[in-house]
Structure 1
């Protein structure tokens, strides 16, 4: 199964993705979701979120300035995201390692924030 992560730009193969509690990052989905009354996903800051859907990971990447899309290998136990609308789509784990940079720059200008967030609400909203 291939896993994807959308997040901060500039990572390269072999780099580790750690939870916001470890990195101190303040750019999290919950900040943006609150602003637009978006989905309740990604509220935890002690785990890394992954998805098996490249489009969903792109939506997360777009929430970062010049965010990037990565293919990753999870580290540690992988568990289903209990908040996810679709079983098997979103996962959580302690950390991940970048395997490949799929798209080095995912920008808002290709879609509005509201449109990106609709991607996170499920296939019917696409």
Structure 2
């Protein structure tokens, strides 16, 4: 009865028209407003240090920086000391002193009463 054994498939053009373009698919509100860069001024330490940044939904740029300069990482690794440092191993246990005996006896008395 049906000369075409395959079921009716939609055309490729109608498949692609189902999807929205990226701006319409996002639910962030007004995309154009969020993409416009805003200038933000931050002050620290009572106004002594000031940073002015331009921030948008896609990028963040520092326009001006007054006062604080971040330290640059050293190019060479720090020199290693030739004296090995000994650290206590976790398997070592401290010796119990006589100052803990009072607390142990109190704990035993509590367990006996309870």
Q: Which has the higher contact order (CA 8 A, sep 6+)?
A: 1
Larger Rg: 2
TM-score by length of 1: 0.16
TM-score by length of 2: 0.17
The structure with the greater share of residues assigned to strand is 1
